[in-house]
Structure 1
Amino acid sequence: MATFVLIHGAWHSSWCWEKVVSPLENLGHKVIAVDLPGSTLDDKTPLEEITLKSYTDHVVKIIEEQDEKVILVGHSLGGVIMSQTAEYISDKIKGLVYITAFILRNGENMNLYKESDKESIASLEFIEEGKGALIQSDNVSEAFYQNCDSEVIKNVISRLVPQSTQVFTTPLEITEQNYGSIPRVFVKCAQDRALTVNTQERMIAAMPCQKIYTINTDHSPFYSKPAETVEILNAVVKDFT
């Protein structure tokens, strides 16, 4: 059994894991789905105060409250947050799971891959003089949730929030001594139209992982393929022993 800490991606919050948490708990695991600063509709943190550091400070605090080492799971932007957090408290982390997530090298930022992913159909709408961004409403369903049920999509879109853009451009600061000491696996999503599989594979080639899983679905496997997502997360426990 393991303790999982789940980190959501941009525009989302802990609710995106709602179809995953209970099944994992039913398998005997402890599961903590994180709400990052500014990620919920009632959290009015100004966009300029939402930074990679504010994210990692929040996640570090949660992990340090646990009695055992945790398995960190990050989706999309959550991969950047997870990597930086791992650098700070590598002794508290058993393994890292990137679910169609940005896995970066030291000194890289998320925009490096986001802007070079020419196959991605995710289009941004910038707000507050560029401090924040939203996914354009006319393509959010096709970019993120094309394999999801229509009711799920309707419910999800109503909860999306603006994302601070400075997090996209902040360079990752990791070392082999700390971050590099932690085993990591990657979960590819083969039908992803937001972070396309070619870009996922390009990142993996630059940052090799101990194991790679594949789900034949969109950018949101926790909704489109929750059972497979749970199955993989349960399996990685053995990968990290």
Structure 2
Amino acid sequence: MATFVLIHGAGDVGWYWHLVEAELRARGHDTVSPDLPCEDDSAGLPEYAGTVAEAIGDRTDLIVVAQSSGGFTAPLVCDRMVVELLVLVAPMIPMPGEAPADYSAGTGYDREERDRYDDVVALFYQDVPPELAAEALKRGRAQSEARMGEPFPLRAWPDVPTRVLICRDDRVFPAGFLRRVARERLGITPDEIDGGHTPALSRPHELADRLEAYAAEEGPLR
């Protein structure tokens, strides 16, 4: 069985993954979903990766899964630990030397034609049950940007098999945008599921199915 290391996005908490964790644990897997130090002005990407590595401890057979801006942290974890597979979900996909603050300009996201939403629920949680969306908002934290101008420290993408899973109805990172970025930056044609930006809350069973299938294909379940 695998250990799924689940990394949340900006201003969020490990709770985001709780339904997917329940699914995976019911199938016999182990899970780790730490809270990143996103409110700490002294913490940057290396500290985020250190938090994840500390939570992993001596676990093995690691499948690292990152949501949204967690795509900046996950490769650093893969550089520190022995990882079987990296899965990026509705992700940001960094280039070597690119700061998170420069991602919008670097990918052309700031020029991307897309619908605009002022309401947080409409943008992030449009297909999440209302009670879960409300709980997610209550648990959300401020995201420090104090060190988001620092370059992504890796010189190259880690030598780990990588899958990209995008959401067809994502209002944050539209599917067309992520298809292009995944192709340009990783040479990957992403897989797709229905739903918005937060499938761990809107489609936990389907997402767990995908993660388990990826592990069986390329990870320690072979």
Partner of residue 54, structure 1: 47
- The question of 1:88 aligning with 2:68 is answered no
User: Deviation per CA, 1:154-191, whole angstroms, max 9, x where unpaired?
Assistant: 11111111101145433212244xx4311100011111
Give the secondary structure class of the aligned counterpart of 2:172: coil
Matches within 5 A, 1:98-117: 98-114=88-104, 116-117=108-109
In 1, are the aligned partners of 2:64 and 2:86 still within 8 Å (CA)? yes
In 1, are the aligned partners of 2:78 and 2:158 still within 8 Å (CA)? no
Q: Distance in 1 between matches of 2:216 and 2:155?
A: 25
In 1, are the aligned partners of 2:87 and 2:163 still within 8 Å (CA)? yes
Matches within 5 A, 1:181-196: 181-196=159-174
Partner of residue 236, structure 1: 214
Q: Distance in 2 between matches of 1:195 and 1:210?
A: 16
Residue 222 of structure 1 aligns with an amino acid whose one-letter code is A
Q: 1:240 to 1:210 in 2, by over 3 A?
A: farther
- The question of 1:159 aligning with 2:139 is answered yes
Residue 31 of structure 1 aligns with an amino acid whose one-letter code is T
In 1, are the aligned partners of 2:179 and 2:189 still within 8 Å (CA)? no
Give the secondary structure class of the aligned counterpart of 1:163: coil
Q: Distance in 2 between matches of 1:33 and 1:60?
A: 11
Partner of residue 31, structure 1: 31
Q: Distance in 2 between matches of 1:210 and 1:3?
A: 24
User: Deviation per CA, 1:74-105, whole angstroms, max 9, x where unpaired?
Assistant: 0001110101222233xx11110000111112
Residue 4 of structure 1 aligns with an amino acid whose one-letter code is F
In 1, are the aligned partners of 2:166 and 2:178 still within 8 Å (CA)? yes
Q: 1:183 to 1:37 in 2, by over 3 A?
A: same
Greater per-residue strand proportion: 1
- The question of 1:73 aligning with 2:51 is answered no
Q: 1:165 to 1:120 in 2, by over 3 A?
A: farther
Residue 12 of structure 1 aligns with an amino acid whose one-letter code is D
Residue 35 of structure 1, CA deviation: 1.1
In 2, are the aligned partners of 1:95 and 1:183 still within 8 Å (CA)? yes
Q: TM-score, normalised by structure 2?
A: 0.87
In 1, are the aligned partners of 2:69 and 2:91 still within 8 Å (CA)? yes
Partner of residue 129, structure 1: none
In 2, are the aligned partners of 1:83 and 1:103 still within 8 Å (CA)? no
Using the aligned pairs only, state the percent identity: 27
Residue 192 of structure 2 aligns with an amino acid whose one-letter code is T
Q: Report the aligned-residue RMSD.
A: 2.1
Partner of residue 9, structure 2: 9
Partner of residue 18, structure 1: 18
Q: 1:120 to 1:210 in 2, by over 3 A?
A: closer
Q: 1:84 to 1:120 in 2, by over 3 A?
A: farther
Residue 69 of structure 1, CA deviation: 3.4
Partner of residue 131, structure 1: none
Q: Which runs of 5+ in 2 are unaligned?
A: none
Residue 22 of structure 1, CA deviation: 1.0
Q: Distance in 2 between matches of 1:239 and 1:169?
A: 37
Residue 71 of structure 1 aligns with an amino acid whose one-letter code is I
Partner of residue 222, structure 1: 200
Residue 86 of structure 1 aligns with an amino acid whose one-letter code is C
